Amino acid sequence: MRPLIVQKYGGSSLATSDKIKNVAYRLMKEKEKDVDLVVVLSAMGKTTDTLISLAQEISPRPCKRELDMLLSTGEQVSVSLLSMAIKELGGQAISLNAMQANILTDSFHSESQILDIDTQRIKTHLQEGKIVIITGYQGLNKEKDITTLGRGGSDLSAVALAVALKAQCCKILTDVSGVYTADPRIVSDARCLKKITYEEMLELASMGAKVLHARSVELAQRYDLEVYVKSSFDEQNAGTLIEKDVKKMEEITITGVALNKNEAKVTLVGVPDRPGMAAEVFTCLAEANINIDIIIQNVSVEGFTDISFTVKEEDLHVTILVSKEAVRDLEAKEVIFKKNVSKLTLVGVGMRRHSGIAAKMFRCLADKNINIEMISTSEIKISCVIDQDKGDLAVQALHKAFELEKS
């Protein structure tokens, strides 16, 4: 049996017809190595954004079923064009949308989950020697309505297909060379990592280093699937391998530092310190679909406490409205907030076995006169909320202090 590889190309690698031809050429070369290839595509360039804007010209809050119907067209354009390009080069290929590839999801339009993939048809085409090109980001619910998996969801499609097809590995081809120790636009000597564990990648994926969709990393971890992130423009570069190989990695304490900009901090002041208060506040916020990140509750003084949390800045307006209502209902004192904060996160599985990392991080920030507003930790990460203006400086300082430029 030929080895099977799933490759995923992002929108920037498919932005023009020339880029699509280039991908076709690369796939032909790859196919010469006698492998089976399943290729998952995003929509060309910024197509999905454009389609969303178009929908909003018609309706400020378009019906989600119809929006999914619309957005799914972007990926159909890219898969059909790539298939044509391969045929033009004399190769064999076939494009499939989610219906044809039998990707079954639940019915949560715009954020649906993959339930099952019936791989029969894909396997038949592979046996025929074809490169099978499949639309990312979309699925089909049991009513046969088109669903989408959430923005950036093609990564998830690729990993799910690789798992279902028992592929040797999944390669995510993108416009960066791999996963870096820090954003190379902020740190000039940031290093492209050869390897990173699933856990670390998950922290980084949800921390603003938006290389991979977080759910795709979770899925790969669950099935122990090797995932490579590499450049679609630079053949030579091996990219970053995401896997579980902890043993070799334990030597390394810190893997990377990430910065999440555009956050806001909200504090409910003078909340009565009784059972059920936090439940009340966060239930209201959850019902308003607000995603909460770091939460801190102070020690209570004379029966009152303060609760602070962070949200995305775009959610701040609704958060304040909901919080003000909660404050009224709970007879708390007031809501205060601060815009323009960033979350700075240091990640590394080696933290488990080393002490003094937090102290070193806080000292480094203090030396740069950077104030820490909130702290949150897990076994493998430390996050600090700081002033947005100091974000880049903080990343540079930590990168240097922990010598992340050295391998």
Residue numbers at the binding site for ligand ASP (CB under 6 A): 10-11, 42-43, 48, 74, 136-137, 151-154
Q: Which is nearer to ligand ASP, 42 or 383 (CB)?
A: 42
Residues 141 and 135: their CA atoms lie apart, in Å, by: 15
Structure tokens at 383: 């996050």
Residues 161 and 219: their CA atoms lie apart, in Å, by: 11
Q: Is 152 in the site for Mg ion (CB under 5 A)?
A: yes
Q: What angle do CA 395, 385, 186 make, to 5 degrees?
A: 20
Q: Which is nearer to ligand ASP, 211 or 347 (CB)?
A: 211
Q: Which residues in the 2-31 window bind Mg ion by CB under 5 A?
A: 10
Q: Which is nearer to Mg ion, 240 or 323 (CB)?
A: 240
Least distance CB 7 / Mg ion (angstroms): 14
Q: In what helix (H) or strand (E) does residue 377 lie, and over which residues does it extend? A: strand 374-378
Least distance CB 153 / ligand ASP (angstroms): 5
Q: Which contacts of 54-57 are long-range, i.e. CB under 8 A and separated by 24 or more positions?
A: none
E-strand ranges in 82-168 read 93-96, 103-105, 114-117, 131-135, 138-140, 146-148
Q: Is 45 in the site for Mg ion (CB under 5 A)?
A: no
Q: Which is nearer to ligand ASP, 91 or 136 (CB)?
A: 136
Structure tokens at 277: 């208060």
Q: Is 153 in the site for Mg ion (CB under 5 A)?
A: no
Task: Please choose which of Mg ion, ligand ASP, none residue 396 contacts, taking the beta carbon within 5 to 8 angstroms, the exact cut-off set by kind.
Answer: none
Q: Which residues in the 230-269 window bind Mg ion by CB under 5 A?
A: none
Task: Please choose which of Mg ion, ligand ASP, none residue 43 contacts, taking the beta carbon within 5 to 8 angstroms, the exact cut-off set by kind.
Answer: ligand ASP
Q: Which is nearer to Mg ion, 14 or 192 (CB)?
A: 14
Q: Which is nearer to ligand ASP, 152 or 178 (CB)?
A: 152
Least distance CB 71 / ligand ASP (angstroms): 7
Least distance CB 136 / Mg ion (angstroms): 9
Q: Which contacts of 283-290 are long-range, i.e. CB under 8 A and separated by 24 or more positions?
A: 284/322, 284/323, 284/325, 284/326, 285/319, 285/322, 285/323, 285/326, 288/318, 288/319, 288/322, 290/315, 290/318, 290/319, 290/322
Which one-letter DSSP state was computed for residue 90? T
Least distance CB 10 / Mg ion (angstroms): 5
Least distance CB 52 / ligand ASP (angstroms): 9
Per-residue DSSP letters for 219-259? HHHHHT--EEEEESS-SS---EEEE--HHHHTT-S--EEEE
Task: Please choose which of ligand ASP, Mg ion, none residue 48 contacts, taking the beta carbon within 5 to 8 angstroms, the exact cut-off set by kind.
Answer: ligand ASP
Contact footprint for Mg ion (CB under 5 A): 10, 152
